[in-house]
Amino acid sequence: MSTPRLIYVLHSWTGLVCGWLLFTVCLTGALVVYKFPLKALANPTLVAAPLEDRIGPDGALAAFRIERPQWQPRVVAFPSDIFSIHHYTVVAMTADGERNRFWIDPATARISERLESDFADFVLTLHRNLFLGQPGRWFVGLLGLFMLVSLVSGVWFHWRRLRRDLFHLRLREHARKAWGDLHKLLGVWLLPFHLIIALTGAWLGIESLIGLRASDANPIELLGAGPGDPQPIAEIVETARLLRPDFRATHVNMTNYGAAGATIRVQGDLPGYRLVQRGQTMLVFDADSGRHLQTVDRLEQGVGRRVLAMVRPLHYGYFWPFWGELLYFVLGIGTTVLTLSGMLIWADRDRRRAPRKHKDAPTWMERANVAVMGGLLVALAGIAVANALARSIGADGLDFLGSRNLLSSEPAAPELILFFSLWVGFGAGLAALHPLKAWVTAVSLTSAMLVVLPVTGAIGAGSLADYVARGAGEATGYALACFLLALSGACTVRRLARHPSTQEPDRCLTTA
């Protein structure tokens, strides 16, 4: 077998073997760009709007220790941090190792043990480990490596025609040519983004196996010298600000708080450090005396640590709010379409090679493509709308707080069972239709529900202004992304309806 042929086979089969899973990971990866606005918008009673801070971090910690004396606080995140959705967030542990997160209202000190809904983390879990726990995370990392191999082999194979492929797009031609041109165009123009996502995704998946993380240099080995009478957190944060006036504290991490030798790490960000993992700049203090022990600046720890600290911002796109997130969303959809087009090209190849008694009969792969990928589109949009409706009317259920690990001994969350039921149900219904009609149906339903999503959020908030406020200013980008995707879907449906394959079934691929 010649080298070009070998490279082509490598590119094709790595794409085929991982195609459906890569589609799932890429699609959910585009969606989790808006994880934190979604988290805020999914909890309308917990977050009515950014609240005035009347208690300070010490008041929040004192209220927590009074009401939850059996819990040992480890982390206190401030309301200014989007992770906290406008509340103080306390991460604490019990003596037997149980870990939980609590939300404290900065105006009233009211403590909440759970969110109303964690749909955003539900989607993130599907993206990160396919609901398979730690083994799933390793498997997704392996998918990143397969994606990298497919990208490199594809560029290698098409290298001689690279200049032509940059501008060659024949959407009005036969579906096979249209999908082939789109596949190559997206592969070439978005190659830097594809490579970044594949490399960072692979690393995030397997970093626990390697044992090397950006946060490994945390100075937890440092101990204070006091007897166990900690200084107020606000004073230590103010000392950190005086030491580094440009430092923006987002949370404090406490080691052995209230015991002898306790330390407090004030963690946050510095201006110009957007490509550094959030909260990885820290100033360490003796909890009792308030004496400064150490400053950890990732940019001063060498190239290796700096690169590790850049992995998450580069993968999730949170280093440039609004425009960067919108760009990552659009590029993420482009990567999803790249995967989709590759699977449709394989279906066309299967169609042309497989002997059939009826020339226009769809192949198993055409039906499987629309069942798996089209079914996923509709299922995700459907369960997102159900969650938004439940939040807007204040209904119980659909909180997405149960177990999201199919390999766990705990019963799976009802929402997880509902999601897979929707996926299987819609997939089976779409597979029963002609592939072209099935794709028209799937894209039409998904587009309609994408329009409903931000509208439902605004209704639940009471007004558009409150809707934007609850999303920490990023709900606008989320709504815009929904409408852009819905508009793209509408254009796709229009294109499908006008395609010649609607009159000539034998020319139908799976879409146009």
Kindly give the confidence (pLDDT) of every residue in the chain, 512 residues in length, as a single tens digit, with 9 standing for 90 and above. 677 778 888 888 888 889 999 999 999 999 998 887 777 767 766 665 556 788 999 999 999 999 999 999 999 999 875 566 778 999 999 888 888 999 898 988 999 888 777 888 899 999 999 999 999 999 999 999 999 999 998 888 877 776 666 666 666 666 677 777 888 888 888 999 999 999 999 999 988 887 666 555 554 455 656 666 888 999 999 999 999 888 889 899 988 787 777 889 998 887 766 677 677 788 999 988 889 988 887 767 777 777 888 888 889 888 777 788 889 999 999 999 999 999 998 888 877 776 655 556 788 899 999 999 999 999 999 998 888 888 777 666 678 887 788 888 888 888 899 999 999 999 999 999 989 899 999 999 999 998 888 777 655 555 555 555 554 445 666 777 788 888 888 888 877 766 555 444 434 444 43
Terminal alpha carbon distance of the chain: 33
Task: Give the start-end residues of each E strand in 270-421.
Answer: 281-286, 292-296
Question: Is the separation of the CB atoms in 104 and 65 below 8 Å?
Answer: no
Nearest to 418 by CA among 397, 448, 439: 397
DSSP state of 403: B
Q: Is residue 500 within 8 Å of 436, Cβ to Cβ?
A: no
What is the three-class DSSP state of 225?
A: coil
Q: Please write down the HEC assignment for all residues of 420-444.
A: HHHHHHHHHHHHHCCHHHHHHHHHH
CA distance 130 to 384: 17
For Cα atoms 355, 361, 365, give the angle at the middle one, nearest 5 degrees: 75
Question: Can you tell me the distance from the alpha carbon of 391 to that of 239, in angstroms, rounded to the nearest whole number?
Answer: 41
**Number of CB atoms found within 10 A of residue 102's CB:** 20
Nearest to 368 by CA among 443, 427, 421: 427
Total-model pTM = 0.85
